[in-house]
């Protein structure tokens, strides 16, 4: 029996969806109950390792000198009576602005869907590329020494991913159930914020932290739970997507391209479950690092990987399957105001890009200008969600603070909410208001949004989870 065709939106539904988006509303369509609906899932994987000499972390650390382990994009396509939904998790640090649009457009074309239904997220380990096409062009035009990314390599990576997706579609499998499982991760995550000896907030706990006092302090606000959302054909598991909120770095900045401890854990699970396609997405972890449990020693990488692997395995061990009888996609537009305080005006950023003595300072300015250009043109971010009834999969932009992930879970306490961060990464850190008020020192450069973003983020959560 042939698989049912992919049915596009009707003209009336397409117009209604467009009007909803233009009016700032939520685009949603549900299929299931009472209809004869079949879903299928396709998977794809492509290597996206940068060439030697390519900038890593947007020029902020040593460029690629060796490949410790190759980088990949892992993806899935949900196929049914509506336009396909694509999720791609890329082993890169960030994808921003025009580059993010390019990924969504190319994957949408390959899948036969629209870009709004393409969710692209980055793992965010630092020994990996940052992609921002306009920032790179600005640097080249200004004669700056700093470099963010290679434009040709970026397009090659996009085409490789799109080609893998296209090749994977004919191999799509029937999907009848979804599964949910979770487990606590032991001794991996800690918040950047801790209290100093004077009792005041300090923010010096990084991914690798050598300061003994900072490491001795409490974990702080984290989400200690790893969640795994899976897709099944009857009792046969097809795909497992795990997510956890932590900056996924042990040691870095030495020119060794790597997916770090997350890549090791994911590969170990793939070896153990050869018939199940393993994916991973980093949660909202702009302010969550491994610093309490990591001083940067090389032996910590496999140790952190084992803790993540153990949690993935434990979550799988308690996974419960539920019949897939509905599937909804929703997205809501989000406007975050660009930052314009001292050092962040267009004039100051242009001056820094041209005259900063440090190449990375030039890159930071170009990244800020690239985001400012799109924000000033009215560009809005998407906050999408895929709703399976008893489980929701959300994608947050950029380096959203973990409080937003916790807020999404608190908003649906009776459901299974898996939050992913590092979608459109242009804004940099998206902090809660308290972080600005307390003088979070991480917001001095890698944050291009104005104070007051918290309210807009929480409003978007409510809309996409259908709470308002």
Please give the pLDDT value at position 37.
Answer: 52
What separation, in Å, do the N-terminal and C-terminal C-alpha atoms of the chain show?
42
- Distance between CA atoms of 295 and 206, rounded to whole angstroms? 9
In a domain, 1, yes or no: no
| Contact yes or no for 331/384 (Cβ under 8 A) | yes
Q: pLDDT by residue (tens digit) across 356-394?
A: 999 999 999 999 999 999 999 999 999 999 999 999 999
Asked whether the whole model's pTM tops 0.85, one would answer: yes
Residues of the chain with pLDDT under 70: 1-37, 467-468
Helix (H) or strand (E) holding 54: none
Nearest Cα to 178, choosing from 231, 107, 216? 231
- Please, which residues have CB within 8 angstroms of residue 284's CB and are 6 or more apart in sequence? 245, 396, 400, 401, 402, 403, 404, 405, 419, 420, 421
- Distance between CA atoms of 132 and 129, rounded to whole angstroms? 10
In a domain, 439, yes or no: yes
In a domain, 148, yes or no: yes
Phi, psi of 137, deg, nearest 5:
-65, -40
Q: How far is CA 448 from the centre of its chain?
A: 17
In a domain, 5, yes or no: no
Q: Tokens in use for 242?
A: 């795990």
| Contact yes or no for 217/193 (Cβ under 8 A) | no
Nearest Cα to 89, choosing from 74, 105, 104? 74
**What's the number of domains the chain is made of?**
1
The DSSP letter of residue 468 is -
In a domain, 62, yes or no: yes
Q: What's the burial of 21, exposed, middle or buried (CB within 10 Å: 0-12/13-18/19+)?
A: middle
Please give the pLDDT value at position 26.
Answer: 46
- Distance between CA atoms of 312 and 278, rounded to whole angstroms? 10
How many C-beta atoms lie closer than 10 Å to residue 170's C-beta? 7
Question: Could you give the angle at which helices 346-355 and 133-142 cross, rounded to 10 degrees?
Answer: 60
- Distance between CA atoms of 183 and 311, rounded to whole angstroms? 6
Structural domain harbouring 453: 11-464
In a domain, 381, yes or no: yes
In a domain, 2, yes or no: no
Please give the pLDDT value at position 388.
Answer: 97
In a domain, 114, yes or no: yes
- By 3-state DSSP, what share of the chain in percent is helix, strand and coil, each rounded to 5? 35, 25, 40
């Amino acid at each position: 029996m042939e698989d049912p065709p992919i049915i596009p939106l009707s003209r009336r539904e397409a117009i209604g969806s467009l009007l909803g988006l233009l009016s700032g509303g939520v685009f949603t369509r549900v299929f299931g109950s009472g209809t004869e609906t079949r879903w299928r899932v396709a998977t794809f994987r492509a290597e996206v390792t940068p060439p030697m000499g390519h900038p890593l972390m947007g020029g902020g650390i040593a460029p690629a000198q060796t490949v410790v382990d190759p980088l990949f994009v892992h993806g899935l396509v949900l196929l049914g009576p509506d336009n396909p939904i694509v999720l791609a998790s890329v082993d890169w640090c960030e994808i921003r602005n025009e580059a993010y649009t390019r990924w969504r457009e190319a994957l949408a074309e390959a899948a036969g869907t629209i870009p709004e239904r393409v969710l692209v997220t980055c793992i965010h380990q630092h020994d990996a590329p940052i992609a921002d096409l306009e920032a790179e062009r600005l640097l080249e035009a200004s004669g700056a020494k700093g470099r963010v990314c290679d434009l040709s390599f970026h397009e090659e990576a996009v085409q490789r991913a799109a080609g893998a997706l296209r090749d994977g579609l004919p191999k799509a499998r029937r999907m009848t159930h979804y599964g949910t499982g979770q487990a606590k991760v032991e001794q991996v995550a800690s918040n950047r914020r801790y209290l100093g000896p004077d009792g005041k907030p300090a923010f010096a706990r990084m991914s690798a932290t050598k300061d003994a006092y900072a490491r001795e302090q409490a974990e702080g606000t984290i989400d200690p739970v790893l969640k795994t959302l899976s897709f099944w054909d009857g009792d046969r598991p097809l795909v497992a997507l795990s997510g956890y909120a932590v900056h996924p770095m042990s040691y870095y900045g030495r020119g060794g391209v790597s997916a770090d401890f997350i890549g090791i854990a994911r590969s170990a699970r793939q070896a153990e479950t050869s018939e199940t396609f393993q994916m991973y997405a980093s949660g909202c972890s702009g302010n969550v690092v491994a610093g309490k449990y990591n001083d940067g020693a090389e032996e910590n990488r496999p140790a952190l990987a084992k803790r993540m692997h153990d949690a993935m395995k434990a979550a799988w061990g308690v996974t419960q399957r539920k019949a897939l009888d509905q599937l909804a996609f929703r997205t809501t537009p989000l406007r975050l105001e660009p930052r314009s305080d001292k050092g962040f005006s267009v004039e100051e950023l242009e001056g820094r890009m041209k005259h900063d003595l440090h190449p990375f300072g030039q890159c930071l300015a170009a990244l800020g200008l690239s985001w400012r250009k799109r924000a000033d043109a009215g560009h809005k971010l998407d906050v999408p969600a895929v709703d399976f009834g008893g489980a929701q999969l959300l994608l947050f932009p950029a380096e959203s603070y973990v409080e937003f992930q916790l807020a999404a879970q608190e908003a649906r306490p009776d459901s299974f909410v898996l939050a992913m961060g590092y979608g459109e990464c242009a804004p940099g850190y998206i902090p809660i208001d308290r972080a600005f008020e307390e003088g979070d020192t991480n917001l001095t450069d890698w944050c291009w949004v104005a104070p007051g973003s918290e309210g807009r983020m929480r409003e978007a959560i409510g809309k996409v989870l259908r709470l308002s």
